[in-house]
Amino acid sequence: MAAEKLIVNQAYTGEVLAELKMHDSAQVDAMLSIAQALHKSGCLPAHERIRILQKLAELVNAEHEDFARLIANEGGKPIRDARVEVTRAIDGIRIAVAEIQNIQGYEVPMDMTAAGVGHTAFTIMEPIGVVVAVSAFNHPLNLSIHQVIPAVATGCPVIIKPASVTPLCALRLVNLIKEAGLPEGWVQVALTNRENSEKLVTDPRVGFFSFIGSAKVGWYLKSKLAPGTRCALEHGGVAPLIFDKYADEQGFINGVVKASMYHSGQVCVSVQRVYVPEDRATEMAQKIADIASKQVVGDAINEDSDLGPLILPKETDRIEAWVDEAIQEGATLITGGKRINEVSYEPTVLLNPAKGSKVSTQEVFGPIVCIYGYQIINDAIEQANSLDVSFQSAIFSDDVSLAMGVAKKLEASAVMINDYTTFRVDWMPFAGRKHSGYGIGGIGYSMRDMLEHKMIVTKG
């Protein structure tokens, strides 16, 4: 029987970039067997892992522009932003190197009661086992770094299943990891269909499962995990931002378009819902629209493109339907509201969509920002907290006391004060609450998740 094929297309033009063979069930099983055998054989010494990762950072840096162009072509991220992603990826590798020195146990006091007297105890940290990572399309290199490199750094064999539309970055990264000196089998790429992906994830040989993608798929796979398999899930959110009457309007307006339209809004922490004082809502929506309407939408590989395409034509269809619904249900269209072509949609600003409209209740994952007027700030907080998704939020205010009070009331894993929900550095904890995720991401946090404590007690 001929192997299934995976066709990788240029995100904007549809040109075929690669034709890859997909792995079948037997090949997936073989990957797991190889990984499990390596785990049983004992992990690589820390000094070897450090050397490999240091070399990897050099190799990725040497291909900086090639990776950026690959990100732009397969994933549709504008080339200027793609270059930033590559720089972040290199930094992420170096963060992991620094974190390796923190892999250490500790002494456990034994003389706290008479029963422990005469004993000495300490803990050591051991690799949890085989790591399986299922990744997303929107940051095809940096997400691979966040899921694969912590495993390499902690001595865990890892199998990554990249998004089917953006596998090329992961494939190139894994080749460079091997070139850097990691022995064969410690990192593998699985190109699989949905059925074989589920078999891979739910196999009892898996010690840790890392998932980035939709809540529906993430929670389903978590429910199917073998007993004892740990996991971390990173889903989406609607990134509410509250603008207080005491905030600096000019500083806010200049950045909110980038924070909502970056990568055409296809980011889990893109600003989607903006709450502003009711008496200034129309004026501020127009100012945001004035900037949004000037954004250049085009092929991501072009230097002048501010926004690239949506990842698939069906996403353009969905966004078009959601915006049309919002307008029919009472939203005022300030700018945009039309598809440009099969995979592109105009940067769109909506004023006061209905609370029940999909753009108000679902993650849009498109170049749409919704502006809502509020009378008192507690109403804005209530609306920001009203959904079952919760990731990063933001409050803009020059009143420090008020800003801190709002930050404490917002239901979010992180609250930015006078900065946007898109802010992130790769060593900070990064996580969703409620339906938005499970566990904590960030290079060092992921490394700790991939380790187990073992306690050793001696008598005498």
| pLDDT band at residue 248 using 50, 70 and 90 as cut-offs | confident
Q: Give the integer Cα–Cα distance in Å for 289 and 267.
A: 20
Look up 156 and say whether it is catalytic: no
Query: What burial class does residue 245 get, using C-beta atoms within 10 Å of its C-beta: 0-12 exposed, 13-18 middle, 19+ buried?
Result: middle
Same domain, 49 and 183: yes
Q: Give the integer Cα–Cα distance in Å for 173 and 434.
A: 32
What size, in residues, is the chain?
460
Residue 125 region, left (φ>0) first, then alpha (ψ -120 to 50), else beta?
Answer: beta
SS3 326: helix
Mean pLDDT of the chain: 96
pLDDT in tens, 183-192: 999 999 999 9
User: What tokens were used for 255?
Assistant: 């950045």
What per-residue confidence (pLDDT) applies to 43?
A: 77
Q: Which of 47-51, 247-251, 388-392 has the highest mean pLDDT?
A: 47-51
How many domains, in total, are found in the chain?
A: 2
What per-residue confidence (pLDDT) applies to 383?
A: 97
Same domain, 105 and 90: yes
pLDDT in tens, 293-325: 999 999 999 999 999 999 999 999 999 999 999
Q: Give the integer Cα–Cα distance in Å for 240 and 389.
A: 11
Q: Is the residue at 408 inside a domain?
A: yes
* H or E stretch covering 47: helix 46-62
What per-residue confidence (pLDDT) applies to 1?
A: 61
SS3 349: strand
Residue 279: give its domain's CATH number.
3.40.309.10
Q: Is the residue at 155 inside a domain?
A: yes
Instruction: Residue 283: count other Cβ atoms within 10 Å of its Cβ.
Output: 11
pLDDT in tens, 70-126: 999 999 999 999 999 999 999 999 999 999 999 999 999 999 999 999 999 999 999
In this predicted structure, the answer to whether residue 335 has a pLDDT above a threshold of 90 is yes
Contacts of 284 (CB under 8 A, 6+ apart): 243, 249, 253, 276, 371
Query: Three-class SS string for 176-236?
Result: HHHHCCCCCCCEEECCCCHHHHHHHHHCCCEEEEEEECCHHHHHHHHHHCCCCCEEEEECC
Q: Give the integer Cα–Cα distance in Å for 253 and 262.
A: 15
Residue % of the chain over a pLDDT of 70:
100
The one catalytic residue among 169, 231, 268, 370 = 268
Q: Give the integer Cα–Cα distance in Å for 201 and 158.
A: 12
Q: Is the residue at 430 inside a domain?
A: no
Q: Is the residue at 388 inside a domain?
A: yes
Q: Give the integer Cα–Cα distance in Å for 281 and 370.
A: 11
Question: Where are the alpha helices (H) located in 329-421, listed in sequence order?
Answer: 358-361, 377-384, 400-409
Same domain, 357 and 244: yes
Identity (one letter) of the amino acid at 185?
Answer: G
Q: Give the integer Cα–Cα distance in Å for 148 and 145.
A: 5
Cβ proximity of 59 and 179 under 8 Å: yes
Closest by CA to 168, choosing from 267, 310, 83, 71, is: 71
pLDDT, average across residues 413-428: 94
In this predicted structure, the answer to whether residue 61 has a pLDDT above a threshold of 80 is yes
Residue 104 domain boundaries: 5-235+436-459
| pLDDT band at residue 14 using 50, 70 and 90 as cut-offs | very high
Q: Is the residue at 431 inside a domain?
A: no
Q: Where is average pLDDT lowest: 42-46, 200-204, 225-229, 362-366?
A: 42-46
Q: Is the residue at 440 inside a domain?
A: yes
Cα angle value 214/269/379 (rounded, 5°): 110
What per-residue confidence (pLDDT) applies to 147?
A: 98
Look up 234 and say whether it is catalytic: yes
What per-residue confidence (pLDDT) applies to 250?
A: 80
pLDDT, average across residues 263-270: 96
Same domain, 271 and 217: no
Same domain, 108 and 177: yes
Same domain, 156 and 251: no
pLDDT, average across residues 422-444: 92
Q: Is the residue at 400 inside a domain?
A: yes
Cβ proximity of 450 and 156 under 8 Å: yes
Same domain, 231 and 283: no
Residue 39: give its domain's CATH number.
3.40.605.10
Same domain, 105 and 143: yes
Closest by CA to 415, choosing from 237, 178, 169, is: 237
DSSP state of 303: T
Same domain, 192 and 291: no
User: What tokens were used for 357?
Assistant: 């409209």
Distances (CA, A) of 236 to 71, 212, 213, 253, 435: 21, 9, 7, 24, 8
In this predicted structure, the answer to whether residue 2 has a pLDDT above a threshold of 80 is no
What per-residue confidence (pLDDT) applies to 246?
A: 79
In this predicted structure, the answer to whether residue 254 has a pLDDT above a threshold of 90 is no
Same domain, 246 and 228: no
Same domain, 77 and 222: yes
Contacts of 45 (CB under 8 A, 6+ apart): none
Q: Where is average pLDDT lowest: 133-142, 241-250, 315-324, 438-447?
A: 241-250
Contacts of 347 (CB under 8 A, 6+ apart): 257, 261, 292, 293, 295, 297, 307, 335, 336, 367
Contacts of 368 (CB under 8 A, 6+ apart): 260, 265, 272, 319, 322, 323, 336, 348, 349, 350, 359
Q: Is the residue at 279 inside a domain?
A: yes
The one catalytic residue among 74, 234, 346, 363 = 234
Same domain, 261 and 136: no
User: What tokens were used for 354?
Assistant: 């209905």
